[in-house]
Each structure stands twice: as C-alpha cells, then as structure tokens.
Amino acid sequence: MSDTRDVDTVDLSGFAPAELRRRLRHACVLLGAAEVPTEQREQILRRARGHLGGTLRKLDRLIAEVGGAPVPMDEQLTERHEPARNEPSP
C-alpha cells in the first residue's frame, strides 16, 4: 500500500496548519463565550489567552521548521505540557 499524502503536506513538528486552525477556532469559541457577562468571564478570557499563547508558540516552531532554522536549544530540551483545561459549564 502506498502513502497517498502529498509531499508538500506540512506536518514536521506535529503542528500542521490544520491543527493550528483548530486551536484558533477553539480560542474563538472561548472568546465568544466571554462576550456575555458571567461569573466565569475572567476565567474564560484567561483560558482563551493561554490557548492563543500556546498556538502562537506552535506556529513559531512550525515557521522555524519550514524555514529550516534550527529549533532553539530550550525547545529541544524541554518537554511541553499543556495545562489542564476546565471546560465552561453550560
């Protein structure tokens, strides 16, 4: 069985553009939920900020890999873990 994926598919770091788009959509959903004043508004905004920050770090790493730039040493030696997520209650 042959591999049918395109050679140009960017999936070098595990952060494909499709994954970054999914993360941005999730951040948009969180920001939408924060439009309505609730007790959890600050918590939701902080989660959206953390999500966007993580997405930007992944985008920077993807750009570096696509551009052929070496990944910074701290990125090579540090295993990244996403913080636990608390989903907003309906």
| pLDDT tens per residue, range 59-73 | 998 888 888 766 565
pLDDT at 79 over 80: no
Contact (CB, 8 A) for 44 and 77: no
Q: What is the residue type of 35?
A: E
What does each C-alpha distance from 51 to 7, 56, 73 come to in angstroms?
30, 9, 23
| pLDDT tens per residue, range 8-59 | 444 444 678 889 999 999 999 999 999 999 999 999 999 999 999 999 999 9
> E strand or H helix at 20, and its extent?
helix 17-33
